[in-house]
């Protein structure tokens, strides 16, 4: 049986430069860093978090310094042999919408990068671009491990062009991936990248519609019948929907958001949400609680520019009970 207190978080650790919607400039290492530190605080002495990422050699010291205050973060999964990491520029136009530019391509994470960690309770994959996680890696885990595989669809629905501009894309080969994912997480915009027509007349409709939810039930049925056990769609500040099959029928649970008075920075909210799912499944094996913890970590990420936004297990549980009950 896998150790329920060992969690692997795999994906890029980009060197981020962020211009917030209030025109503040933040420079830090992102993506994987958010859920790793959130989980580190939650697990404390009761578990270990292993970031798995490929990075530039020039970032070795900076990334090690980012994690040095968190003794239960095991850095043996950080690899710089190919000297290929990720560099991202983010320019927020409002709280949720941003322009992105990518200046480096991470060496993809393959089975050899995760094979030492197959005793983990959960693998959390948080790619930001479509080439960063190989399908062979998910297949390898399914074959050799009992771990829960949690997958964020942000990378699968995002491509980079030759100028470094990042664009939404349809996840056309989704059916190749879904049988190897236990828990799939995405936002509403990304869900529309999984629902596309056989053919369009002339113009492809915009996917940027916060009220476009009519496709979700059909999409959820497809995803779940392809092998995913739990499907979460986040709705920004409103909360998230949990879809699962019960007696071969679609079951939906609405998990309301955690309200915050002011949003400082939303970078890393989705990654943090994925970390909350991992905690809920690894510790409780409860999909509703997992969604609650995911909402909490996503909301906490918005509350500042440093890692103090994330709380201990006791403090986080108090937030959960105050908002959702026991």
Tens place of pLDDT for every residue, the chain, 326 residues? 444 589 999 999 999 888 888 888 888 899 999 999 999 999 999 999 999 999 999 999 999 999 999 999 999 999 999 999 999 988 888 877 788 899 999 999 999 999 999 999 999 999 999 999 999 999 999 999 999 999 999 999 999 999 999 999 999 999 999 999 999 999 999 999 999 888 988 888 777 777 889 999 999 999 999 999 999 999 988 999 999 999 999 999 999 999 998 888 888 999 999 999 999 999 999 999 999 999 999 999 999 989 999 999 999 999 999 999 97
Number of neighbouring beta carbons within 10 Å of residue 219: 18
Pairwise CA distance, residues 105 & 300, whole Å: 29
CATH number assigned to the domain covering 3-196+209-324? 3.40.1190.20
**Alpha helices, DSSP H, located in 68-123:** 111-114
Q: Which of 88, 125, 90 is closest to 108 using CA atoms?
A: 125
Three-class SS state of 173: coil
Could you tell me if 253 and 232 are in contact, meaning their C-beta atoms sit under 8 angstroms apart? Answer: no
Contacts of 31 (CB under 8 A, 6+ apart): 11, 12, 13, 14, 16, 86, 126, 128, 268, 271
| Domains of the chain by residue range | 3-196+209-324
What strands, in cross-sheet order, belong to the sheet with 87-92? 25-29, 15-19, 87-92, 98-104
């Amino acid at each position: 049986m896998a150790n329920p207190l060992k969690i692997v978080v795999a994906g890029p650790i980009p060197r981020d430069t962020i211009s917030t919607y209030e025109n503040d400039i933040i420079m830090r290492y992102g993506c994987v860093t958010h859920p790793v530190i959130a989980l580190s605080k939650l697990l404390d002495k009761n578990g270990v978090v292993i970031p798995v990422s490929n990075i530039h050699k020039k970032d070795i010291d900076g990334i090690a310094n980012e994690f040095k205050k968190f003794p239960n973060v095991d850095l043996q999964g950080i690899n710089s042999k190919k000297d290929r990491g990720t560099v991202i520029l983010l320019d927020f136009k409002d709280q949720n919408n941003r322009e992105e530019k990518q200046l480096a391509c991470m060496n993809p994470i393959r089975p050899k990068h995760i094979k030492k960690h197959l005793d983990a309770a959960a693998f959390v994959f948080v790619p930001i671009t479509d080439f960063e996680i190989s399908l062979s890696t998910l297949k390898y885990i399914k074959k050799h491990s009992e771990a829960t595989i949690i997958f964020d669809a942000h990378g699968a629905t995002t491509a980079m062009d030759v100028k470094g501009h990042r664009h939404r894309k349809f996840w056309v080969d989704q059916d190749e991936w879904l049988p190897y994912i236990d828990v799939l997480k995405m936002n509403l915009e990304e869900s529309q990248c999984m629902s596309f027509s056989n053919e369009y007349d002339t113009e492809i409709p915009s996917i940027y519609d916060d009220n476009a939810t009519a496709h979700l039930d059909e999409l959820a049925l497809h995803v779940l019948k392809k092998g995913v056990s739990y499907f979460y769609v986040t709705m920004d500040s409103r909360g998230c929907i949990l879809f699962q099959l019960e007696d071969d029928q679609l079951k939906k649970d609405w998990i309301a958001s955690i309200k915050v008075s002011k949003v400082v920075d939303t970078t890393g909210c989705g990654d943090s949400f994925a970390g909350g799912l991992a905690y809920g499944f690894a510790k409780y094996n409860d999909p509703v609680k997992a969604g609650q913890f995911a909402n909490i970590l996503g909301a906490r990420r918005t509350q500042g520019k440093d890692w103090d936004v994330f709380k201990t297990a006791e403090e986080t549980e108090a937030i959960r009970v105050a908002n959702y009950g026991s």
